Amino acid sequence: MSVTLDEIAEKAGVSRTTVARALNGKTKQAWSSTARRVQRIQKLAEEMGYRRNTAAVATRSRRFGQIGILTRHEMGPIQHNLNKGVFEAASRHDLNVTYAEVEFEGLTDPDYAPKVLRELCVDGLLVHYGWDIPTTIMDLIRGYGIPTVWLNTRETHDCVYPDDRQGSELATQRLIELGHRRILFAFRPNRKRHPFHYSTQDREQGYVDAMTHHGLKPVVVQIDHQPEDYAERITLWRQILEQHDKSTAVVCQNERVAYPLLVAAALLGRSAPADLSVATVLDTGGKGMPVSGITVPLESVGAQAVDMLTERIRNADASIPSIAVPYQSLSRQTIAALNT
Amino acid sequence: MSVTLDEIAEKAGVSRTTVARALNGKTKQAWSSTARRVQRIQKLAEEMGYRRNTAAVATRSRRFGQIGILTRHEMGPIQHNLNKGVFEAASRHDLNVTYAEVEFEGLTDPDYAPKVLRELCVDGLLVHYGWDIPTTIMDLIRGYGIPTVWLNTRETHDCVYPDDRQGSELATQRLIELGHRRILFAFRPNRKRHPFHYSTQDREQGYVDAMTHHGLKPVVVQIDHQPEDYAERITLWRQILEQHDKSTAVVCQNERVAYPLLVAAALLGRSAPADLSVATVLDTGGKGMPVSGITVPLESVGAQAVDMLTERIRNADASIPSIAVPYQSLSRQTIAALNT
DNA sequence: TTGTAGGCGTTATCAC
DNA sequence: GTGATAACGCCTACAA
């Protein structure tokens, strides 16, 4: 069915060992006759459609050539942006990525534990459950003794996350440069979770830092309850904008805040960016509606996490200090210079 | 380092074979003494932290217990919704999922071919490159001889895709039931690709079918060029709405059409759903802004694809007729009964 | 440089 | 019901 080294060896009239060496480039090829033979074997292998059996390699080498990503469905859009970096880095290290979406309940119930944890099949694990992963779950995962790197989680070691404070500061600074002085910060804390996601606090902090640094007064608008109903949500933002009608710009926590805000502004006759500049942190890369935003550097987070993980795999029990990845650029769609 | 059957066997004072049988539940346990021994072994294995080595299992059984997903980054949001079904089904079949994001260029260049293709490591492959995957690429992938199921692709066999015509028909029907008569269909073909995605044609067709079935005149609004600039895009939709100011409802191709439309309507003083009903097919599940939509049944597509794949793996060379998965429900956010 | 032999951890086979 | 033994495909000492 599938071609093995033995089959190639037989056809080439050499031993299995020679074939293996030729295919793995472990022949020095000092003589030209050897070089030619190596070439012939490689060509033969390709013609026969040979493909290395990773399972056999793994039993022998005690390395699976696989890393796992453990995440939950909710992380989806963020995970998607992480993926690009993860796969780029993984293919650089010649690693396969085993991807598992498992909710918390699935982790705690031993019968539903994912295969990546239950069985020996990956060299290391990228865990992406966000900031609010319970300690019990972290310990549970640690208990499996697999080298692990945590994404979007903040501990002193083995974590990689975006530098949210700096990102929000950058966005605010850009608006100030454009001449804006009355700038709001709008956010909606996720009340379902215990304290806020640290990124919420950080984004607010970055805004406040930028404002106070320029001697401006920060004004933070917080929505305690964001209605699920479309019309209600728009109304709510409309009221807020009416309250703060002197403001010329808004920095939003994320695009879920920015979108209804843009509609509400339009209903008040304020069209972005001419009448109102709206900048936001783009959790999901802003694929939906074009808004001026500063994109969370998730691709870089993913790539650096894989690099960190390979490091941890190589050196099984040495923790690595966590990394805060800086934000880079701001796109221009819904912000403009203040027209005085 | 990791516990093996031999280590458990030694500690339990039995043979490796007995341990394997006990852990794999292959003992009939006719006698109570045997049952007790089995229990003791299972407990011992758990205490010692035993985890099956999947690589060893795979070399022996010639099954990797893995399926691969081959996709490209662009498919992200759709892939995300597929994932839920895929992982649910995969864990049901006790399969790991190896996930690879590879662009077309990576596939054609043999040096960059993904590990899932280059090496023997999966039992089957889910390929999700969408409708416009070139024949050369399909043949290239088929050339590897791995059992494959194609997602969101339309061939007579081995494909699973959503029934877009039926979905769009359902959404239109709902608006008609609510009393609407002048209903637009708005879409923006993706000019980058050669013909349209079949789903574009199908969604239009479903709308037309529903309208003509009720003796109504279908009006299709097509935007040839959707500007990247936010303000321009809004203006364009505003003009279209002004042209069709008698229309009371719009069916949109997807949310990328619906969002700017809602803003444009607001600028014209028409607030959804009171003054304009907007329904859309939700490619990405509508996580951004709440819009009335009918969600593409991607979760179901994913699950059925995995089921089909296991079937193909079991029966290596028997193609299976393709499946069109029906749409289900319509959420209510931006549609309302026509007020006469 | 090549080939032989042995082992990785598991499962299947077959005597006992 | 149990346990020795032989595979699975690959890699690596070590001897030739």
Nucleotides of chain D touched by protein CB (<7 A) = 1-5, 7-13
pLDDT at A217 over 60: yes
Pick from A89-93, A305-309, B105-109: least confident: B105-109
Residues in Cβ contact with B99 at an 8 Å cutoff, skipping those fewer than 6 apart: A69, A83, A97, A98, A99, B68, B69, B71
Q: Is the CB of A34 under 7 A from strand C?
A: yes
| pLDDT of the residue at A66 | 97
- Quick: pLDDT tens for B205-222: 999 999 999 999 999 998
Residue boundaries of the structural domains of chain B: 5-52, 61-162+298-325, 164-295
- What separation in angstroms does the CA of B115 have from each of A79, A97, B70, B101, B109? 21, 10, 11, 11, 13
Q: How confident is the model at residue A1 (pLDDT cuts 50, 70, 90)?
A: low
Tokens encoding A239: 């009221």
Q: How far apart are CA A281 and CA B312, in angstroms?
A: 45
Q: How far apart are CA A154 and CA B186, in angstroms?
A: 45
Q: Is the CB of B59 under 7 A from strand D?
A: yes
**For residues B273 and B292, is the Cβ–Cβ distance under 8 A?**
yes
Q: How far apart are CA B298 and CA B312, in angstroms?
A: 21
Q: How far apart are CA B144 and CA B125, in angstroms?
A: 11
Neighbours of A275 (CB within 10 A): 14
The integer distance in angstroms from the CA atom of A336 to the C1' atom of D1 is 81
Facing residue for A84 by CB, picked from B53, B101, B229? B101
Residues in Cβ contact with B10 at an 8 Å cutoff, skipping those fewer than 6 apart: none
CA Rg value for chain B = 26
Tokens encoding B228: 């990247």
**Mind telling me how many Å the CA of B304 is from chain A's nearest CA?**
17
- Quick: pLDDT tens for A240-287: 999 999 999 999 998 888 888 998 999 999 988 889 999 998 887 656
**Mind telling me how many Å the CA of B220 is from chain A's nearest CA?**
22
Q: Give DSSP secondary structure letters for B108-147.
A: HSTTT--HHHHSB--SEEEEE--TT--HHHHHHHHTTT--
Q: Is the CB of B56 under 7 A from strand C?
A: yes
Please state the CATH superfamily assignment of the domain spanning residues B164-295 in this structure. Response regulator (3.40.50.2300)
Tokens 């694990």 found at: A125
Strands, DSSP E only, in A80-237? 96-101, 124-128, 148-151, 159-162, 183-187, 219-222
CB contacts < 8 A, A to B, total 188
- The top-scoring range by mean pLDDT among A13-22, A177-186, B108-117, B219-228 is A177-186
Q: Are residues B79 and A80, on separate chains, in Cβ contact within 8 Å?
A: yes
Nucleotides of chain C touched by protein CB (<7 A) = 1-5, 7-13
Tokens encoding B184: 């637009």
pLDDT at A225 over 80: no
Closest nucleotide to A55 by C1' from CA: D9
| pLDDT of the residue at B193 | 54
**For residues A153 and A129, is the Cβ–Cβ distance under 8 A?**
yes
Q: Is the CB of B39 under 7 A from strand D?
A: no
Q: How far apart are CA A210 and CA A217, in angstroms?
A: 10
pLDDT at A54 over 60: yes
Q: Give A77's contacts in chain B (Cβ within 8 Å).
A: 77, 80, 287
The integer distance in angstroms from the CA atom of A64 to the C1' atom of C6 is 22
Q: Are residues B77 and A287, on separate chains, in Cβ contact within 8 Å?
A: yes
Tokens encoding A77: 């859009």
Closest nucleotide to A38 by C1' from CA: C1
Q: Is the CB of B30 under 7 A from strand D?
A: yes
Q: Give A259's contacts in chain B (Cβ within 8 Å).
A: 259, 288-289
Give the DSSP H/E element, type plus range, for residue B54. Answer: helix B54-61
- Quick: pLDDT tens for A96-117: 999 999 999 999 887 788 999 9
Tokens encoding B37: 């021994």
| pLDDT of the residue at B338 | 85
Facing residue for B98 by CB, picked from A98, A145, A287? A98
The integer distance in angstroms from the CA atom of B309 to the C1' atom of D8 is 24
Give the SS3 label for residue A49: coil
**Mean pLDDT throughout B103-128?**
92
| pLDDT of the residue at A91 | 93
Q: How far apart are CA A193 and CA A185, in angstroms?
A: 21
**Mean pLDDT throughout A187-195?**
64
Nucleotide D11, nearest residue via CA and C1': A60
pLDDT at A52 over 60: yes
**Do B5-52 and B61-162+298-325 share a fold?**
no
In chain A, the largest separation of any two C-alpha atoms, in whole Å, equals: 86
Cα angle B211, B213, B216 (rounded to 5 degrees) comes to 40
pLDDT at A238 over 60: yes
Q: Classify residue B309 by burial, with Cβ atoms within 10 Å: 0-12, 13-18, 19+.
A: buried
* Residue environment code for B138-171, b if the CB has 16+ CB neighbours within 10 A, otherwise e: bebbeeeebbbbbbbbeeeebbbbbbbbbbbbbb
In chain B, the largest separation of any two C-alpha atoms, in whole Å, equals: 86
Percent of residues, chain B, with pLDDT higher than 90: 63
Q: How far apart are CA B56 and CA B59, in angstroms?
A: 5
Residues in Cβ contact with B8 at an 8 Å cutoff, skipping those fewer than 6 apart: B19, B41, B44, B45, B48, B50
Between B10 and B32, the more confident residue is: B10
- Quick: pLDDT tens for B220-254: 998 877 677 778 888 999 999 999 999 999 999 98
pLDDT at B51 over 90: yes
Residue of chain B whose alpha carbon sits nearest to that of A273: B231
Beta bridge partners of A126: A69, A149
Tokens encoding A76: 């989806």
Between B224 and B175, the more confident residue is: B175
pLDDT at B195 over 60: no
Q: Give A289's contacts in chain B (Cβ within 8 Å).
A: 230, 259-260, 263, 288-289
Nucleotide C8, nearest residue via CA and C1': A60
Nucleotide D9, nearest residue via CA and C1': A56
CATH topology classification for B61-162+298-325: Rossmann fold (3.40.50)
- Quick: pLDDT tens for A149-183: 999 999 999 999 999 999 999 999 999 999 999 99
Give the SS3 label for residue A70: strand
Tokens encoding A179: 């001449």
Tokens encoding A52: 């290395």
Tokens encoding B95: 């399969």
Name the nearest CA neighbour of A51 among B106, B335, B319, B144: B144
The integer distance in angstroms from the CA atom of B61 to the C1' atom of C12 is 10
- Quick: pLDDT tens for B269-328: 998 888 999 999 888 765 666 788 888 999 999 999 999 999 999 987 789 999 999 998
Q: Are residues B263 and A260, on separate chains, in Cβ contact within 8 Å?
A: no
Question: For domain B5-52, which architecture applies?
Answer: Orthogonal Bundle (1.10)
